[in-house]
Amino acid sequence: MTTAGEGRVALPERIIIASRESALAMWQARHVQSRLAETYPGVDITILGMATEGDRRLGTSLARIGGKGLFVKELEDALLERRADVAVHSLKDVPMTLAAGLTLAAVIERADPRDALVSPHYRRLADLPAGSRVGTSSLRRASQLLARQPGLSIEPLRGNVPTRLRKLDEGNYQAIVLAAAGLKRLGLEERITALLTVDESVPAVGQGALALECRADRSDLMMWLRPLHHAPTAACVAAERSFSRALAGSCNVPLGGYAELSAGRLRLRGFVAAPDGTQILRGEAEGAVETPEMIGQTLAAMLRERGADEILAALEDISER
């Protein structure tokens, strides 16, 4: 009988992975499938592809229809209804508070966390002239772009990665901004014009990392997934998510957070802004890697002292109109 872990827990004959059906999501699911197959060669590991509400409503801003949680709900339902064992998510799409009965069992080592500029005409962000149409539906990206170059025209852009690139190629935009990790995972790295530093564009919380979610009562599955868990990445994203949670971060809030480790210390930088970039508060906090949530809360409190509550209140007023 196949076993796993220190407790020699018997493995099942089959593990079902729930995934969105987009090309990038399926790449991520197949990546997890491959790693599990290498670790447990005797187990049948299959992928259950699903369309989510976020995929079906690509013509509407996420901020208006409920946020990135719409990309995970159907997958979580499959877990709760026992149609799947584990769901694979881009961690930046996972809500700050999980549905009851679910847990993040593992966080896979982070890929490139940066944003990427893609443009057929301009080699650097600073080269874009005033009035240039830049495609993104991310309030986080838009606010940072406008804070640096207020003359840009930020226009909505949704869809999977190939769809966004096609819209750029058709001349709808002078440039678009995407996550570098997604382009690289799909073998489209050559489309990257420039990688934006984490100071130019603070990444989304969890950007570049993959999360494996399962039911909270599946201690056996948590043990099986342990070989895929990357503790340094998990500590960094825990700080980021704590920061976002403390500021009620969602698609309605232009907010970013990025943590990294150096010499056993965890450094977190983050920001919160008005959507048009006219107000932007940035800050950093540092602490022991063993206390990532505290570091996130410290940075959130720091930005609140500098006026983040006023920005958040104004955003709430806008969303209620």
Residues known to be catalytic: 93
d(CA 106, CA 103): 9
Q: How many residues does the chain have?
A: 321
Report whether 108 contacts 134 (CB < 8 A).
no
| Adjacent-strand bridge partners of 107 | 211
Residues 6+ apart with CB under 8 A from 140: 202, 204, 254, 255, 256
Phi, psi of 199 (to 5 degrees): -85, -35
Residue 314, Ramachandran bin (φ over 0: left; ψ between -120 and 50: alpha; else beta): alpha
Distance between alpha carbon 154 and the CA centroid of its chain, in Å?
21
| Strands in 183-254 per DSSP E | 194-195, 210-215
The angle, 0 to 180 degrees and rounded to 10, between the axes of the packed helices 231-246 and 292-305 is: 30
> Do 104 and 125 form a contact (C-beta atoms < 8 A)?
no
H-run or E-run covering 314 = helix 308-319
Q: Is 210 exposed, middle or buried (0-12, 13-18, 19+ CB in 10 A)?
A: buried
